[in-house]
Amino acid sequence: MSGSAADGVPASPLSYLDRPNSYIGRSVARPNARRLLAGQGQYVGDIVLARMLHVAFYRSPHAHARIGRIDVAAAAASREVVWVVTGADILGICKPWVGVLGHLKGMKSAPQPALALDRVFAQGEPIVAVVARSQAAAEDAVQKIAVDFEALPPLTEPEAALAEGAPVLHPELGDNLAFERRIEVGAVDAAFAAAAAVVEDTFDFARQTGVTLEPRGIVADYRAADGRLTLYQSSQAPHMMRALMARQFGLPESDIRVVAPDIGGSFGIKIHCYPDEMATVALAILLKRPVKFVADRLESFVSDIHARGHRVRGRMAVDAEGRILAFVADALTGVGPYSAYPRTSAVEANQVINLIGGPYVFPAYRARARVAFQNKVVMSQYRAVGHPIACTVTEALIDRAAAALGLDPAEMRRRNLIKDDAYPVTSAVGLKFEGLSHHRALAKMLEMMDYEALRAEQAALRARGIHRGIGLASFIEITNPSPAFYGAGGAPIAAQDGCAIRLDPEGGLTLQASVGEQGQGTETVLAQIAASVFDVPLARVRVVTGDTDTTPQGGDNWASRAAGIAGEATLQATKALKANVLEIAGALLQMPPARLDIRDGKVVEAASGAARFDLAEIARMVYFRTDALPEGVKPELMATRHYVPRGYPFAFTNGVQASYLEVDTATGAVTLLKHWVVEDCGTVINPLLVAEQLRGGIVQGIGGALYEECVYDEQGQMQNANMADYLVPMAAEMPDIEIGHVAGTPTAESELGAKGTGEAGVAAAPAAVLNAVNDALRPFAARVTAQPMTPECILRALGKLPSRRGAAGPAFG
Amino acid sequence: MAKLHISATVNGEPTEFLCEPDETMLDVLRGPLGLTGSKEGCGSGDCGACSITLDGRLVCSCLMLAAEAEGADIRTIEGMAEGDTLHPLQRKFLEMAALQCGICTPGMLVAAKALLDRNPDPSESEVRYWLAGNLCRCTGYDKIVRAVLETAAEMREAVR
């Protein structure tokens, strides 16, 4: 990967990462944010094309029903309506798809149509599309559609869906089990038999959804004249979408362009194929006019994927010294009637049982994950897939075991975290860790939060009837996934990323990258890498992303992969371009390139630092005065490199979070006082942006822990599908979040050494908050094992409200 | 239904537009007036992405009828910077990374400016509660709150 000499770049005592003008490790502001601050961002909703039509959908009011007669006459006769379309009308061009992956063995799902055909399986499923000249007209006409339904009994609870004799939602599948996986490692039964203590709980995680402030949206523009389809889509994954659309509509990929403009939040929600977006594309092709769909908030709640929604029974055995002997986990989830396309709805459950116990040493593990079909909105992957569930189960059991043995929770972790000098490590489950820093992170955390002082304060306040809690949660986070994942499963989802970089005539750099920007700062960190390696001022680097026509083929944004993978591609491409420039400069100066360097935007003599060329002079010579170049000099001022990690399936990061909060035992209300995180994501390119990824993630995690729940009734109707009733964290309730760093563990797989950081915040915040709540409730011998931990949930745990079945908590699934 | 003819001042410019009686101010801003900086996040007044000021008062433009703008002074995110010079709040948001995806940012800035216009020295709690009607799903609010407080301090310093 490295090989400076081979690339003709002079050896330097400093690496590219720490040269004097390096931007690596510097908190620079995002140049592309100015536009957003001025209100000049261009999101899909802002795009208007000539002859553009709008589509709105009639969606199922039932969770499960047979569709009878559909009366569209009044809608079709409405003002400004162009076309009213049912499932059968677009079936010819838009066949149902199936969301399974080959490497998830035994997984099954039924074909999912863009518009429901004879049955609907979930509230919100689109049935009729209305195309009109304005969005308002399309929405008005939808109100005039009448559909005869024969309501069928909904299957809402996953236990019921998997019970013997349960009605089968899709008879051709044989049963309602979408996926099952079991893990058995080591002598589990013997470990429990020999244990000094065994702790066990059943944990409920409510369904949540992403609530991207910008709803999903797409403008599909099919130009019959040249047969090209252009999609402006609020998507994290334009390259994946192009490949899927080609498959879906039988077009060559080269005739499809997917543009992801400014994206108003994604968090995993905008990485799936949705029936309404597929239908919009089909309509644009059939009508040969641009068609726009932007979801409104109410339909977002019942059409965006949901996530979490797990019940996990967890057990842990420890010896008398508190060492973990074994974990057992049984995870069950209901994912709606279809597995999401193309990443499936099985990955979250699969991750849950992969990640339980992740930070710790334990020799024996038994787990089962079951994924059931049901009549609710489709569930799939949302930021930190599986992580917060696995982390909460693990960390809650760790705290319970500590209490059972009379150990401090911090000491319990110290005794079990994988040692910092043990790497590389392969865990009992088979996770491969290249290098982590759990102990350093924990030590830093305890120092940063002044753990002992906080414990003393807690005890003093407790004596006065004020109940505060301290919660710790160590975590691991999956980043930089290797090719062993979706590609191997048969989906057109790349693990590699590419970067093309060129020297512009005026001496600046233009960088085209296969990953995108959704606000996390991808473009900025890539610019920092290029500016550092090439040694030009950051302001001279322009980054182009989000357009399949103008960027290299690559993997897009998911699984915290952009900085680590596309960052390395950028580093290598920039090195290659620099070598080209020095070769040209050497030929012009009749000097060996090895004696030249680029510093602060100028070609200099490496030894003396004497400036020889401005980069603009080289560029102008190469582009416009090629006649003056010496014989044999190639005019190559553009270089492209791709990178894929191969050595490890993932570049795991690690860290620890802590929460300090107060529980009002009269009302059940939780007040968050402070939150801390220490994270090790390897090489930090931009500390400011890493910190903001952590903070934002933590607050999303807190949302799940305390507020967010898709509340369903027994008929499969979501009861709070609006922003007033579905609670997300707002400014008033959120704590200060302090961030600490440790000497990190850069991945040696890449020269850059960067791991991801986008999901760490979400991964452990719920566990830290849950442990803190239970720490506060300790004097009452009460504990909470369900999220969201609403006041009601806490009052039930305190016995001040009657408990519901099993653990106190929300309806599950 | 006949369209209504409305005259208003938008970001200091005399502006006329035609609207349906049931059209919202947000629809008119984003449509005929081409001011797409105001965003629709919910359409029900819960997210604050469409925040504007109406005669100096902070309102959700999705809850306001366009016809109510008759004779009023409307200010949107597009009127916040003076030419190329960003408002101190915009500068501070940039410097402190108090935004990510940017979809809430126009509303957040308009709301924050409305706060500082009436209270140049807000406490952290006052900032947090004033902005409690503006949803940001990306940042976790910490930097937004800090950016508003620091801007307030700088602006107080500047007028001294």
CATH architecture of A44-152+211-301: Alpha-Beta Complex (3.90)
Q: Do B99 and A37 touch (CB under 8 A)?
A: yes
Measured between beta carbons, the chain A residues lying within 8 angstroms of B39 are: 43, 45, 213-214, 264
Residues 731-750 of A with CB under 8 A from B: 731-732, 734, 736-737
pLDDT higher than threshold 60 for residue A7: no
Q: Do A36 and B102 touch (CB under 8 A)?
A: yes
**pTM > 0.80:** yes
| A539 CB within 8 Å of a chain B CB | no
Residues 646-705 of A with CB under 8 A from B: 688-689, 691-692, 695-700
User: What is the tens place of the pLDDT at every residue in A411-445?
Assistant: 999 999 999 999 999 999 999 999 999 999 999 99
pLDDT higher than threshold 80 for residue A146: yes
Distance CA A589, CA B56 (A): 64
| A519 CB within 8 Å of a chain B CB | yes
Q: Do A728 and B135 touch (CB under 8 A)?
A: yes
What residue of A is the nearest CA neighbor of B95? Answer: A29
CA distance B54 to chain A (A): 18
Partner residue opposite B94 with nearest CB, options A29, A211, A696: A29
Element (H, E) at B4: strand B4-10
Q: Do B99 and A729 touch (CB under 8 A)?
A: no
**Confidence band (pLDDT; 50, 70, 90) for A601?**
very high
Q: Give the mean model confidence (pLDDT) for residues A387-401.
A: 98
| B104 CB within 8 Å of a chain A CB | yes
User: What is the tens place of the pLDDT at every residue in A169-207?
Assistant: 999 999 999 999 999 999 999 999 999 999 999 999 999
Cβ–Cβ < 8 Å for B58, B68: no
pLDDT higher than threshold 60 for residue A10: no
Which of A32, A37, A209, A722 best tests the B interface by mutation, with the highest count of B CBs <10 A?
A: A37
What residue of B is the nearest CA neighbor of A136? Answer: B23
Check if A306-483+647-797 and A496-643 are the same fold: yes
HSE at residue A754, side-chain half, CA atoms within 13 A, is 30
Q: Do B40 and A45 touch (CB under 8 A)?
A: yes
Distance CA B138, CA A727 (A): 15
Q: Do A521 and B97 touch (CB under 8 A)?
A: yes
Cβ–Cβ < 8 Å for A689, B97: yes
Q: Do B137 and A265 touch (CB under 8 A)?
A: yes
* Helical pair A760-777 and A387-405, crossing angle rounded to 10 deg: 30
Check if B4-79 and B88-159 are the same fold: no
Query: Which pLDDT score is estimated for A15?
Result: 66
Q: Do B78 and A39 touch (CB under 8 A)?
A: yes
Residues 106-135 of B with CB under 8 A from A: 106, 109, 127-129, 131-135
What residue of A is the nearest CA neighbor of B90? Answer: A37
**Given the structure tokens 């929405």, which residue do they identify?**
A139
Query: Which pLDDT score is estimated for A486?
Result: 85
Partner residue opposite B42 with nearest CB, options A264, A723, A729: A723
Beta bridge partners of A85: A129
What residue of A is the nearest CA neighbor of B131? Answer: A731
User: What is the tens place of the pLDDT at every residue in A508-550?
Assistant: 999 999 999 999 999 999 999 999 999 999 999 999 999 999 9
Distance CA A700, CA A546 (A): 25
Measured between beta carbons, the chain A residues lying within 8 angstroms of B131 are: 730-732
Q: Do B46 and A214 touch (CB under 8 A)?
A: no
Task: List for chain B the helix, strand, coil content (%; round to 5).
Answer: 40, 20, 40
Q: CATH: 3.40.800.20, 3.30.365.10, 3.30.70.520, 3.90.76.10. Which one for A496-643?
A: 3.30.365.10
Q: Do B129 and A39 touch (CB under 8 A)?
A: no
Measured between beta carbons, the chain A residues lying within 8 angstroms of B29 are: none
Distance of CA A447 to the CA centre of its chain: 30
Query: Which pLDDT score is estimated for A17?
Result: 66
Region of poorest pLDDT, from A100-109, A120-129, A479-488: A479-488
| B97 CB within 8 Å of a chain A CB | yes
Distance CA A738, CA A658 (A): 10
Domain ranges of chain A: 44-152+211-301, 306-483+647-797, 496-643
Sequence-ordered list of residues with C-beta below 8 angstroms from that of A595, at least 6 positions apart, any chain:
A10, A586, A605, A606, A607
What would the DSSP string read from start to end of B93-159?
HHHHT--SS-SSHHHHHHHHHHHHHH-SS--HHHHHHHGGGS--SSS-SHHHHHHHHHHHHHHHHHH
Region of poorest pLDDT, from A111-125, A378-392, A475-489, A686-700: A475-489
Q: Do A297 and B42 touch (CB under 8 A)?
A: yes
Q: Do B137 and A700 touch (CB under 8 A)?
A: yes
Q: Give the mean model confidence (pLDDT) for residues A707-735.
A: 97
**Confidence band (pLDDT; 50, 70, 90) for A555?**
very high
Domain ranges of chain B: 4-79, 88-159
Which of B52, B61, B137 best tests the A interface by mutation, with the highest count of A CBs <10 A?
A: B137
Angle at A352 between CA A343 and CA A471, to 5 degrees: 130
Q: Which CATH superfamily is domain B4-79 in?
A: Beta-grasp domain (3.10.20.30)
Residues 126-145 of A with CB under 8 A from B: 136
Q: Do A734 and B140 touch (CB under 8 A)?
A: yes
User: What is the tens place of the pLDDT at every residue in A747-774?
Assistant: 999 999 999 999 999 999 999 999 999 9
User: What is the tens place of the pLDDT at every residue in A636-693?
Assistant: 999 999 999 999 999 999 999 999 999 999 999 999 999 999 999 999 999 999 999 9
What residue of B is the nearest CA neighbor of A758? Answer: B138
* Helical pair B105-118 and B142-159, crossing angle rounded to 10 deg: 40
Query: Which pLDDT score is estimated for A806?
Result: 44
Distance CA A208, CA A304 (A): 10
Measured between beta carbons, the chain A residues lying within 8 angstroms of B149 are: none
| B40 CB within 8 Å of a chain A CB | yes
Q: Give the mean model confidence (pLDDT) for residues A366-391.
A: 98
| B144 CB within 8 Å of a chain A CB | yes
Distance CA B124, CA B67 (A): 36
Element (H, E) at A473: strand A467-477
| A43 CB within 8 Å of a chain B CB | yes
Tokens of B49: 């992405």
**Confidence band (pLDDT; 50, 70, 90) for A804?**
low
User: What is the tens place of the pLDDT at every residue in A481-500?
Assistant: 998 778 888 899 999 999 99
Cβ–Cβ < 8 Å for A23, A683: no
| A730 CB within 8 Å of a chain B CB | yes
Strands (E), A113-267: 119-120, 126-132, 146-151, 177-185, 197-209, 217-223, 228-233, 256-259
Cβ–Cβ < 8 Å for A244, A270: no
Which of A219, A730, A739 best tests the B interface by mutation, with the highest count of B CBs <10 A?
A: A730
| B95 CB within 8 Å of a chain A CB | yes
* Helical pair A347-355 and A387-405, crossing angle rounded to 10 deg: 30
Cβ–Cβ < 8 Å for B94, B31: no
End-to-end CA distance of chain B: 54
Distance CA A626, CA A638 (A): 15
Mean pLDDT value across chain A = 95
The answer to ipTM > 0.95 is: yes
| B36 CB within 8 Å of a chain A CB | yes
Query: Which pLDDT score is estimated for A162?
Result: 98
Partner residue opposite B44 with nearest CB, options A37, A297, A729: A297
Which of A28, A32, A36 best tests the B interface by mutation, with the highest count of B CBs <10 A?
A: A36
What residue of A is the nearest CA neighbor of B36? Answer: A46
pLDDT higher than threshold 60 for residue A14: no
Measured between beta carbons, the chain A residues lying within 8 angstroms of B35 are: 39
Residues 10-29 of A with CB under 8 A from B: 29
Query: Which pLDDT score is estimated for A3?
Result: 32
Measured between beta carbons, the chain B residues lying within 8 angstroms of A215 are: 41
CA distance A740 to chain B (A): 16
Question: Is residue A169 left, alpha or beta, with left meaning phi > 0 and alpha meaning psi from -120 to 50?
Answer: alpha
Q: Which fold has domain B88-159?
A: DNA polymerase; domain 1 (1.10.150)
pLDDT higher than threshold 90 for residue A21: no
| B75 CB within 8 Å of a chain A CB | no
**Confidence band (pLDDT; 50, 70, 90) for A5?**
very low
| Residues A523-552: b if buried by 16+ CB within 10 A, e if exposed | bbbbbbbbbbbbbbebebbbbebbbbeebb
Partner residue opposite B135 with nearest CB, options A215, A267, A730: A730
Q: Do B100 and A267 touch (CB under 8 A)?
A: no
A138: DSSP letter: H
Distances (CA, A) of A21 to A569, A711, B106: 20, 53, 34
Measured between beta carbons, the chain B residues lying within 8 angstroms of A35 are: 102
CATH architecture of A306-483+647-797: 2-Layer Sandwich (3.30)
**Confidence band (pLDDT; 50, 70, 90) for B1?**
low
CA-closest candidate to residue A553, choices A587, A515, A589: A515
CA-closest candidate to residue B144, choices B114, B108, B110: B108
User: What is the tens place of the pLDDT at every residue in B58-115?
Assistant: 999 999 999 999 999 999 999 999 988 999 999 999 999 999 999 999 999 999 999 9
